[in-house]
Amino acid sequence: MSQYNNVSVVKQANVYFEGKVTSRAVIFEDGTKVTLGIMLPGEYEFGTSQKEIMDIQSGELSVLLPGKSDWLEITEPQAFEVPANASFKLKVRTVTDYICSYLD
């Protein structure tokens, strides 16, 4: 069972798109943060302030990264990176469990 140890977890969820996307913040001892999130099927656009790594733990979705014209098709666990101050689009086909890491 893969887990994070010796972390803090914020009790209150982050809720987007009327709850179709939700996440929980996990904070490490060094102050860095990840969010553990769920996306239900739907189409979404997100903006970044920091560089992000989205690690898809499970789910099937298509991702349009900034500056790209081709959608990235994800059908098995896979990570992708999004630059800071950018936006990206997602077409989520099945319930998607993800980990988002924020990099400076």
- Name the residues that contact its own copies, by CB under 8 A: 1-13, 15, 18-20, 22, 24, 26-27, 36, 38, 40, 57-58, 95, 97, 99
| Closer to its own copies by Cβ: residue 86 or 99 | 99
**Shortest distance in whole angstroms from residue 86 CB to its own copies:** 26
Cα–Cα distance measured from residue 70 to residue 23, given in angstroms and rounded to the nearest whole number: 27
Cα–Cα distance measured from residue 19 to residue 30, given in angstroms and rounded to the nearest whole number: 30
Instruction: Find the radius of gyration of the CA atoms of the chain.
Output: 13
| Closer to its own copies by Cβ: residue 42 or 83 | 42
